[in-house]
Amino acid sequence: MPPVSYAASLSVLLLAACSPADRPVSPQRTAEVPSDGAAYGGELVLRGEAALLGSGSATIAIVPRGEEAPVMARSWDLGDPAWRSGPDGLRLYFVLDDRDAWAGATRGTRAEMELVARFDPDGNPATEEPGVARVRLPVQAGARDLAIELSVGRQVAVNTGPAGG
């Protein structure tokens, strides 16, 4: 069997990657964009000072309306290459599907679910510390055009009790 050259291997990879069934991916988008098999998908934008967006994580969860327990969720560390920097903050194109379903949870088949997006500056979703940002909004089951924005800012602890108390 003759040896395969680097150029031949590269051309095979390029031909395979250029299948007509594939959608083009813009330079701003990651390879992981909402697909036809996605249960939910869209874009998450974290806005805030660059120093505040240097570490931490973001989590997107789908929960039945009025409940707390998610049926699917996924977290991304801010160091993950899926994030893209821009003048207005960090952007992530995301997909949630069966791989993100929680064990024992039934897939969100209700017409209306809720999406919970959370930024956690220490990267630990089990803690509540200053700087956590969260938004909860209704979504239609199977929505793949979601646009979520979280403003991340410094939070100052305020003492409302009596002085010297």
For the chain, which domains are there? Answer: 34-151 (2.60.40)
Residue 85 CA to residue 45 CA, distance in Å, equals: 10
Q: In this structure, which amino acid lies at residue 15? A: L
- pTM greater than the 0.75 cutoff: no
E-only strand ranges, 11-88: 40-47, 57-64, 72-77, 84-86
Q: For 31-84, what is each residue's pLDDT tens digit? A: 333 344 558 999 999 998 766 788 899 999 999 888 888 999 999 999 999 999
Burial class (CB in 10 A: 0-12, 13-18, 19+), 33: middle
